[in-house]
Amino acid sequence: MATVFKNSLQNNISPIISVGTVAASSPSSGSVTLRFPAQDIVPFPIGSYIYVAGVSVAGYNGYQTVTGATFTSVTYSNSTTTAATGGTITPVLWQSNAGAKTTVIGISLTNTTANIITVSVQLQDTVASTTAYYAYNVILPGFQSLRLVSQGEKLILGPSTNMLVTTNTAGSLDVIASYVEIS
């Protein structure tokens, strides 16, 4: 049995973004590009995790790792070649290990702007196919931090649980989550 303490750090969290068009992958490329209206920042940096839902062809939906990003598009590996439309993209802070028990021992949300923002945190159990809000539209004043899990509290996650964090203002939120994995 191994116990590992970890931190997940993500800055410039973006809101949920609606997909405008889906550029299907060709059999040779093995990737798909989702296009959306121009954002003030690149909303999903290369290497970050996203959850795609509601695209008309189910093969494009699910938990993805970003391989290409611009102010108007995101690209990830996918072999689906069917034309599609619609959908949303949600930033994912992390996914718990499928072979470990995960205990969250701290979550810190920091508003990096002078403006008031709202923040939501969702837990998505990919095994049971259920999603629930841990915090919904919490108001966070400018240049302030909020501890969602702190001072001895614990949040126990099942295997393969995604933590999705969104805000109403692009590039306004930094998140640090500390957790323990026991496998």
What pLDDT score was predicted for residue 104?
Answer: 95
What pLDDT score was predicted for residue 155?
Answer: 94
Bridge-partner residues for 131, per DSSP? 124
Look over the chain and give the mean of its residue pLDDT values, rounded to a whole number. 92
| pTM (predicted TM-score) | 0.85
Burial class of residue 34, CB neighbours in 10 A (0-12, 13-18, 19+): buried
What pLDDT score was predicted for residue 178?
Answer: 94
* Pairwise pLDDT comparison (27 vs 35), residue with the higher score: 35
What pLDDT score was predicted for residue 35?
Answer: 95
Domains present along the chain, CATH in parentheses: 3-12+92-182 (2.60.120), 16-91 (2.40.30)
What pLDDT score was predicted for residue 89?
Answer: 96
Answer whether residue 81 shows pLDDT above 80: yes
In this structure, what DSSP letter does residue 55 have? -
Interior/surface letters 83-113, b for 16+ CB within 10 angstroms, e for the rest: ebeebbbbbbbbbbbeebebbbebbbbbbbe
